Structures are given as structure tokens and as C-alpha cells.
Amino acid sequence: KAGVTQTPRYLIKTRGQQVTLSCSPISGHRSVSWYQQTPGQGLQFLFEYFSETQRNKGNFPGRFSGRQFSNSRSEMNVSTLELGDSALYLCASSLGLRGLAPGNTIYFGEGSWLTVV
Amino acid sequence: SQQGEEDPQALSIQEGENATMNCSYKTSINNLQWYRQNSGRGLVHLILIRSNEREKHSGRLRVTLDTSKKSSSLLITASRAADTASYFCATNPTQGGSEKLVFGKGTKLTVNP
């Protein structure tokens, strides 16, 4: 069973540009979340999508956006890039079903390394 | 902002020794998950413990959860050089109704051969 796949793995962008990152979740998983990891702030939650709807959102500016498609694949976009957006962006997937005893294992991809110059 | 803290921030041990990492958090949770991250790589899931569980084992890993103290610990027994990595605890807050995880800052473990 394939894991969470993220593309591209590495990219370099210039300040002011925009970037789109892609994530394919594990087959059957309907929840996709995105995280930003930096040395200073650590791992921070960006947003979560479940069945094409944003279910939760972290404290990031509106330049950060995402979407989920009907096949559960997800993309995140960062517009007007700033130097501080340089980070490892991680995608995570899970079944997403809440149930009576929520405890879905959440699996992460290898991440996309974004460098803004 | 981070929900909680892991301690110690860094831990250096010899192969064969046990490693214990602690995690504290602040809010009510549904579950807590531990992850390992090798330098520059993604997060590898180690173990999940639900809020109504107190202890879980998986191979050389033992995790405890004390919801009254809002804390958890990860024990790695008979450590190996390959266990060298950063370890993170992540909590799924009750509030929010989603799969959001809130991470601690992590413990950097070095296992010396």
C-alpha cells in the first residue's frame, strides 16, 4: 500500500512568486492535513480537509490556501512568497472518521522543501 | 503556538541503554501520537494512545499517558544507533472536531555505537 506522496520534493522560488504543492493521501483516506516545519516555530498546523471541505484552519495568513479534490488528493498554495515561508511543508493523511473513540493514525509524507530567495 | 513541551530537548546515550522522553500538553485531548523524524525527512508514525488508555507497547517502544497530569512518556528499550533521530509527541485536541495535531518541540536523541 503506497504511503503519502508529496511533490515536488525540493523547490526554490523567488520572493513575490507563488507556489503550489501537491499531496496524494493513502488510498481510502479522506482527511488530508498540511503542516509547516521551521527551525524557529517547529511543526505548525496549516489546515485540514475532509471530503473536499476545509474542516479546520491554523493561524496562518490568507496567502496560504488549500483545496481537496474528489479523489482526496490535495494541493496547497502560497502566494506572494516571503523569505520566512522557507520551510519543510508536510502533508498528512488519515481515515478522518471521528467516531465515538477518535484515534485515527495519521501518516505523513516525506515533505516538500521550499526555499524562498 | 506549540501545545506542549518535550523534555529533554536533547538526549545522548550509548547503544543498548534505554531512552525515556517526556511530553506535556495543555488541553483536553482525544489521543496522543508519537513520531520519529530523521534529519530532513518526513515524520514516521510510532504509536498512538487514546485518551482512555494508560499504556501501550509496540516492539521496543512503551508509551504511557496520564491525562490527569496532561503528560506522556516514550520509552525506547535496548536502543540502537539507528534510533538516532528527533522524536515528537503530537496531541489531537478535543476541541475542533478534526484531525488537527498539535506538536511539541521534540527531543533530539543520539545513540552512540
Record: contact B45-A43, CB cut-off 8 A: no
Run of H or E including B33? strand B29-37
**Backbone phi and psi for residue A64, each to the nearest 5 degrees, phi listed first:** -95, 120
Record: contact B33-A58, CB cut-off 8 A: no
**In a 10 Å sphere around its CB, with 0-12 CB exposed, 13-18 middle and 19+ buried, how is residue A97 labelled?**
exposed
The Cα B98–Cα B100 span in angstroms is 5
The residue of chain A nearest to residue B38, with distances taken between CA atoms, is A110
Residue of A58, A50, A53, A116 lying closest to A87 (CA atoms): A116
Candidates B35, B42, B48; nearest CB to A110: B42
pLDDT at residue A21 tops 50: yes
pLDDT in tens, A95-109: 877 654 457 899 999
- The three grid cell numbers given for residue B2, joined into one nine-digit string: 506549540
pLDDT in tens, B18-63: 999 999 999 999 999 999 999 989 999 999 999 999 999 999 999 9
- Number of cross-chain residue pairs from A and B with Cβ atoms under 8 Å apart: 75
Look-up: residue for cell 504543492?
A: A21
B98 interface with A at CB cutoff 8 Å: yes
- Which residues are within 8 A (CB) of B109 and not within 5 positions of it... i.e. 6 or more apart? B10, B11, B12, B13, B19, B21, B76, B79, B83, B84, B85, B86, B87
Q: How many CB atoms are closer than 10 A to CB B108?
A: 18
pLDDT in tens, A53-93: 999 999 999 999 999 999 999 999 999 999 999 999 999 99
Measured between CA atoms, how close is A15 to chain B, in angstroms?
23
pLDDT in tens, A22-35: 999 999 999 999 99
Chain B positions touching A31 (Cβ under 8 A) are 98-99
The Cα B63–Cα B45 span in angstroms is 13
The residue of chain A nearest to residue B101, with distances taken between CA atoms, is A45
- The three grid cell numbers given for residue B102, joined into one nine-digit string: 498539535
Region class of A110: left (phi > 0), else alpha (psi between -120 and 50), else beta: alpha
pLDDT at residue A98, rounded to an integer: 66
